Structure 1
Amino acid sequence: MKSYFHNPRDFTFVYETLPDRMKKLAQEKPNKVAVVMYYSERDRFQITRKELYDKAVKFARALMKLGLKKGERVAFCASNSINWLAYDLGIIIAGGISVHLLMGEYDIKFALAGCSFVVLEKSEHWDDLLAVAEIAPGGLITSESFPSLKLGMSVSASTRPGEALLISELLDEVDKMDSKKYTNFPFVDPEDFVFTKQTSGTTGIPKRVKHTHFNVMNCPQSYGEMDAFTDSDVRFNSRHMAYTVGYPFDLFTTGLTHVSGCPTFLNDYDNLDYLVKIWRQEGCTILDLPPNKFSDLRGFDCRVKTIDSTGDLLTKEMIDGSLSIAETMIVAYSSVEALNICHRVFKRSNLHEHIDGMLGRPSQGVEVKIVDEFGAVVEQGMAGVVYVRCPWMSTGYWDIGTVRPHGWLETSDVAIMLPEGDLILKGKTTEFILRGELKLLTQFVESYVDRHQDVNKTVAVNIPDANGKDNLCCCVQTYPGQKLEDEALLDFCMANMHDKYVFEWLPVIPKYFLEFEEFPELLTGKIDKMKTREIAIERLKATKK
């Protein structure tokens, strides 16, 4: 059998825009809480559906007054807040395209290209902008680097440059206007672009992915309907809302309540007791959590419907830990371009079916195939590159051209397909260790070293020697209070790695172990493996001097 699987959809497509859906939700249950935000143990804020929609409309009127035209891009970079979604939706109501950013040192030249307006919060981001642009009274921007930029707005009064516009002041001005002024919003079609998401930049350059209202409104339904999420559910998500898996898709599609806040606070390992308190207090039924917390959930007096995990490989032990408080555990596989691709729901009764590297089965409406280097679909059980096709696929990128033969998206993931359609990840086309003519997958090594009781996270990288040969180095972050012992880790690998040698002469046991207090991260919060490798090479060079 060939490695091709299609899961037909059994739901009807929704042909509706995000503003239309939010307006409908506000009319149906105006006082239902839409978003809850936690910034610390003492700082809790909430906004209802009607309050959210009304503030979005108010911001849209302010943007119309400032001259925003339909189809113009608005760079939006701000921390999670109770107003984040209102500002985002306001941009969309006014006909703009919201460009969701997690700005950093390397991407300002990519992030702002082609944008007309910019909305910033943090002083360091304003500093980045002011290094390449000037702001005149009224927030007017001139820049040789970004000739399309016209206007700058600040979320915060304490960090805005003197000439930048302040959103709160703009909203106050709207309150003083005639209620009918600047309300003739442009027509927005469900197939118009709604927002742009950045990829993680694992290749060094993040791509800006274009999505339509249709994509956003329909992709989550392929996921939500199968798992029976409703507007009575409450989802906890500790990610940044600008990040694809942090965006409140199912607030729009199912009407559930979205609980989030400051990612630094909500992802602090030491705050787990308080997080459980939040889940109880808010009545959370769905938890989006990083998997390093799963094993610590045992012993807590808390029950939820399900726990989601996207973007991380899970072990059977991790899933078992999540099921100590959840009825089900959803392993999901997604991308910025295709959004939801695969998932698998685990319970105690089917936990034995889990295999290391499992990504799940294609979700409703999704086609997946595994191909070789010539583009031919491989037999089931053979490794190849994952290709995806679905109706809510991104139409492409702002920065580069898009070539997708017959509508298929080529991922960088290498996997095998089982007869039931399950995908088992074997690695990435960008993350191999070369051994002669063969390629060893770094995830293979990471998954085993991560099982050591003292290891929190492992990143395997290749270290070239003087002859150009790749040597395997495991960069390891231990749990607090633990110390890395090279010999102990080496003994653990020798005893526990099933395939210690691909062939008798081809060792895959790491040659080096390096301890890291923390790993460098990309803007999305993922580990920056390229930077980790650079640091490892420099540290090993220093030890040889």
Structure 2
Amino acid sequence: MTTAADQQAFLASVMTRLTGPAAPFELVEEDVLGARMPVMRHRGRAVHELLSASAVYGDRDYLVTADRRMSFTEHADTVAAFAAVLCEDYGVGAGDRVAILAANTIEWVVAFWATQALGAVTVGLNAWWVPREIEYGLQLSTPKVVVADAKRAALLAQADTDAPVVTMEEDMPRLIASRAGSELRVTEVDEDDPSVILFTSGTSGKPKGALHSQRNLLAVSDYHRYSDALALAFAGRDYDPAVPSDLRYLLTSPLFHIASLHNLVVPRLATGSAVVLYQGSFDVDRVLGLVERERVTNWGAVPTMASRLIEHGNVRKYDTSSLTAFSLASAPSSVAFKERLREEVPFAHDALVDSYGLTECGTAIAVALPADIDSFPGTLGRPVFGVALEIRDPLGAKVADGVEGEVCVRSPYVMLGYWQNPEATASSIDKGRWLHTGDFGKVVDGRLSLTGRRSDLILRGGENIYPTEIEQCLDEHPDVVECAVVGEAHPDLGQEVAAIVVVANGGTVNEDELRQFAAERLSYFKVPSRWRLTTEPLPRNATGKMARGKIAL
């Protein structure tokens, strides 16, 4: 009989074999932006190195959609041609920004890699933004060019920007064909040079651009390669970096999220795995049909998607036997929800994994494996490989196990900072390179449990929403004196956005007018779905701050 101690001893021996001296994932301590931390000795220094090395995978699938298929060879050739276009036609070079504004598509991925080849910075704009939000993102990032699908190109026409636009449907095929046969041009960069900007909501009310470095993306890829090697060891097989992985990953989250870009598209180019891109609004039958047809092995979903799997009621009519890893991310889920999911969705029974992470961290902070979910329900597992985690009190001192405090993390995955926002960077990352997440939790026996989310954050279907941005928008209406936006429980989305609006004396605005007012200025998922209009002032505490805990519909 194998005991827990035996399993721990085996795990320790495997980790030593993989990370010890002369091992493929050998760890050494080095200076990273002024802080000492463990990093891999044998690592790349530029993201484009992954692109150059991927040619060895030849005709294997890299990108697959419902009606298209692109091999590693075709991808490398297409990227080389589009990189030539960006350089020669638009003057894109090292450090320049190239914005991408589109739904999930193969062209999104091609534009990303072409940008990386040139040493430029990919700016992943939120494809659900309305013109005003798009305009803000472009003014902040000042891209040399915007690559957009037709739907978002029409929105760009309504934004105040003079950035040239390359459309995916019309311009990209023509321009790529004009540079067919181009050699891949690459620009040398340092590992702590910027690579990607992805937007995350902020308590100031405006999205912030999380700036990730070459090191960040490569370290995340190395973490995934290490995880693959660890899984092989547990299956009794040796890891060989020259042998491509046969795993096939389903991508259902937007490419402007780290879950899809940093943790799927980038590392799978490094491992020779296929990425199956789901396109369009989430539909259980179409998703499971794709899983069945493409023999998907790994899928990371947000809880809302998992909830719809449960509600579907006929998951078993599809052959999902290939799916051996199913993870939840982007939003918290209850113990009861996970139990129901494992009972009613066959592939979740033995494969369910839960995780916790932030855009600022590049990848997961902690992961709860199936054994953790079984034996320690409610926890989010142990910190992932390469992550140092501390729980700290309000003065910044580390607290003991079992004591609640702020979750702080340090790793080579943590962002450089917020683009063009040194104040926000300084308040989030201290001089020791510890990221203060603003989330609260405790650690018991090495496993993390969250006890509170970031102040006032609303989590709707995997999207982070901060009330301040919506409140500032509604405050622009002449009939609004003040307002408060809160999260209300929702059976499918987790939370929905609710607004309590104080209307001025004599004001005539109604709920429909306010909804339309917000919809013209905010993404659809930020527009409140529940409203209460009143003339009574909102409750405040002794210091004059709004007392959100006393506000309800």
TM-score, normalised with respect to structure 1? 0.69
Q: Match for 1:72: what amino acid?
A: D
Query: What is the correspondence of 1:103-502 to structure 2 with a 5 Å cutoff?
Result: 103-104=129-130, 105-113=132-140, 114-123=142-151, 125-129=153-157, 131-133=159-161, 141=162, 149=163, 151-157=164-170, 166-175=171-180, 185-201=186-202, 203-226=204-227, 228=231, 231-247=245-261, 248-264=265-281, 267=282, 271-294=283-306, 296=309, 300=316, 301-303=319-321, 304-320=323-339, 321-322=341-342, 324-326=346-348, 327-347=350-370, 350-356=372-378, 358-401=379-422, 402-403=425-426, 404-418=430-444, 420-431=445-456, 475-478=488-491
Q: Match for 1:30: what amino acid?
A: G
Q: Show the counterpart of 1:18.
A: 47
Unaligned runs of 5+ in 2: 1-14, 20-24, 27-39, 233-243, 469-482, 494-517, 537-551
Residue 100 (structure 2) aligned to one of 73, 76, 85: 76
Q: Show the counterpart of 1:95.
A: 119
Query: What is the correspondence of 1:42-57 to structure 2 with a 5 Å cutoff?
Result: 44-57=67-80
SS at 2:88's partner residue?
helix
Q: Show the counterpart of 2:542.
A: none
CA RMSD of aligned residues (A): 3.9
Q: Deviations over 1:440-481 (max 9, x none)?
A: xx99xx9xxx9xxxxx99x9999xxxxxxx99987344569x
SS at 2:227's partner residue?
coil
Q: Residues 395 and 19 from structure 1, CA distance in 2 versus in 1: closer, same or farther, beyond 3 angstroms?
A: same
**CA contact 1:238–1:263 (8 Å) conserved in 2:** no
Distance in 1, Cα, partners of 2:373 & 2:52: 41
> Of Structure 1 and Structure 2, which has the larger fraction of its residues in helix?
2
Are residues 1:34 and 2:46 paired?
A: no
**CA contact 1:371–1:386 (8 Å) conserved in 2:** yes
SS at 2:165's partner residue?
strand
Q: Match for 2:92: what amino acid?
A: L
**CA contact 2:135–2:160 (8 Å) conserved in 1:** no
Post-superposition shift, 1:331?
1.2
SS at 1:216's partner residue?
helix
Post-superposition shift, 1:223?
4.7
**CA contact 2:61–2:71 (8 Å) conserved in 1:** yes
Give the fraction of aligned pairs with identical amino acids, expressed as a percent.
Answer: 19
Q: Residues 324 and 85 from structure 1, CA distance in 2 versus in 1: closer, same or farther, beyond 3 angstroms?
A: same
Q: Residues 532 and 68 from structure 1, CA distance in 2 versus in 1: closer, same or farther, beyond 3 angstroms?
A: same
Q: Deviations over 1:45-103 (max 9, x none)?
A: 11111111110000011112122222111111122112221121112212321111114
Distance in 1, Cα, partners of 2:467 & 2:188: 50
SS at 1:191's partner residue?
coil
SS at 2:351's partner residue?
strand
Post-superposition shift, 1:325?
1.0
SS at 2:259's partner residue?
helix
Distance in 1, Cα, partners of 2:97 & 2:259: 22
The total of aligned residue pairs comes to 427
Q: Residues 184 and 21 from structure 1, CA distance in 2 versus in 1: closer, same or farther, beyond 3 angstroms?
A: closer
Distance in 1, Cα, partners of 2:175 & 2:159: 25
When structure 1 is superposed on structure 2, of 358-367 and 221-230 the one drifting more is 221-230
Distance in 1, Cα, partners of 2:486 & 2:92: 51
Q: Show the counterpart of 2:85.
A: 62
When structure 1 is superposed on structure 2, of 108-117 and 54-63 the one drifting more is 108-117
**CA contact 1:235–1:287 (8 Å) conserved in 2:** yes
Q: Match for 2:377: what amino acid?
A: I
SS at 1:337's partner residue?
helix
Distance in 2, Cα, partners of 1:472 & 1:22: 44
Q: Match for 1:215: what amino acid?
A: N
TM-score, normalised with respect to structure 2? 0.68
